[in-house]
Amino acid sequence: MKSFDELSFSDNFMFGAVMRNPELCKKVLETLLQRPIGELTIPENEKTVKMTKDGKAIRLDIFARERENNTQYDAEMQNLNNMSLDELCLPKRSRYYQALVDMSSFNEKAMYRSLGDSNIIFICTFDPFGKGLPLYAFTEMCDEVPGLELGSGTQKLFFNTTACEKSTLPKDVERLYNYINTGRPDDELTEELDDAVRVARMDNELRGEYMRTELFIQDAIYEGRKIGEEEGRKEGRKEATEELNALSAFLIDNNRLEDLRRATQDPEFQQELLEEMRQTI
């Protein structure tokens, strides 16, 4: 992991810290979406949501909602971090996040009528689909009738910052992509983001939060590797160690640190998580 002073806007932790500012969050979303959005409720940094009382929890980098029309935005910064695209599994991850966002805003009295439009936004520092496009936007369409949308109000958007030199890319998006890629600001928005990063680096509370997370992850990985090595010796399989290392990476990348902690102490729970990971990848 990077040291706290090395973190940039493209790192999940710093992205979440900077985007807590509702005005900055609004400006970034408006730049990416190329349309105005309404006043946002204060963005929730790493909002934890669960599907059921006993369900698995996952933390969202930034969860924001338009105050006036209840439109929701889940914004996630995505880095490969030595994982393959198959291991990252963004398409199914977007489906899972969509379900979590919907359930977090579900009103039992109004039922489905209470669901606002939702946008799952992945800002990727790599090309998630290998087609060279700066944006991949997915909505639900009818296979039999071209142009007929389901109208469920859901959209999944994958922004590819590596396609920052496309001639069709709006200049403000190009500058934002360049800032994410290089950390060098060159317009008003990216200057504001860079200032916010510098301020965040001087925040001792944030520094302590990051250091606690870093130490926990290192300890959990160490414990996971020890368990994996022991499993490998017992079963005579190198694959056991490799799979548990992959599980550690899977849980860390999904911000499921409590599950990672429990998995190092509870073999049965660890097997449940392994099965979940196998189904996801």
Which is nearest to 118 in space by CA: 101, 131, 104? 101
Give yes or no for residue 154 having a pLDDT over 70.
Answer: yes
Average pLDDT for residues 244-263, to the nearest whole number? 76
Considering the chain, what is the average pLDDT of its residues?
Answer: 83
pLDDT at position 169 over 70 = yes
d(CA 90, CA 158) in angstroms, rounded, equals: 9
- φ/ψ of 55, rounded to 5, equals -80, 170
CA distance 22 to 37: 12
Strands 118-124 and 154-160: parallel
pTM: 0.77
Q: Taking residues 180-209, what's their average pLDDT?
A: 95
Tokens of 10: 């493209």
> Alpha-carbon distance 77 to 32, whole Å?
13
Q: Above 50 in pLDDT, residue 267?
A: yes
Token pair, residue 277, equals 């990971």
Helical ranges in the chain per DSSP H: 12-18, 22-33, 85-88, 90-104, 171-182, 188-201, 204-235, 238-253, 257-263, 267-280
Q: Spell out the residues 6+ positions from residue 206 whose beta carbon is closer than 8 angstroms to its own.
A: 4, 17, 200
Q: Check residue 140 and give its pLDDT.
A: 93
Q: What would the two tokens of residue 40 be? A: 């946002």
Rounded to 5 degrees, φ, ψ at 272 are -60, -40
Percent of the chain whose predicted confidence (pLDDT) is above 70: 79
Compute CA distances 198 → 9, 123, 218, whole Å: 10, 21, 26
Mean pLDDT value of segment 222-232: 57
For the segment 216-228, the average pLDDT, to the nearest whole number, is 57
In this predicted model, what pLDDT tens digit does every residue of 97-107 receive, in sequence order? Answer: 888 888 776 65
132/47: higher pLDDT = 132
Cα–Cα distance measured from residue 206 to residue 213, given in angstroms and rounded to the nearest whole number:
11
Most confidently modeled range among 36-40, 57-61, 264-268, 275-279: 36-40
Helix H, strand E, coil C: the string for 134-150 is CEEEECCECCCCCCCEC
Q: Do residues 72 and 119 touch, judged by C-beta distance below 8 A?
A: yes
Tokens at 170, concatenated: 């709006």
**Under a CB-based contact definition with an 8 Å cutoff, are residues 60 and 74 in contact?**
yes
Range with the poorest average pLDDT among 62-76, 100-114, 246-260:
100-114
Q: What's the pLDDT tens digit per position in 187-200?
A: 999 999 999 999 99
More reliable by pLDDT, 106 or 167: 167
Can you tell me the mean pLDDT for 62-84?
89
- Determine the distance from the C-alpha atom of residue 212 to the mean position of all C-alpha atoms in its chain, rounded to a whole number: 20
Residue 245: name the closest of 214, 213, 217, 216 by CA.
Answer: 217
**Continuous segment of H or E residues that includes residue 59:** strand 57-65
CA 38, CA 136: separation in Å to the nearest integer?
Answer: 23
pLDDT band at 52 (very low <50, low <70, confident <90, very high): very low
Q: Which pLDDT score, from 0 to 100, does residue 54 have?
A: 47
Over range 59-87, report the average pLDDT.
87
Domain ranges of the chain: 4-201, 204-280
Residue from 90, 131, 171, 30 nearest 179 by CA: 171
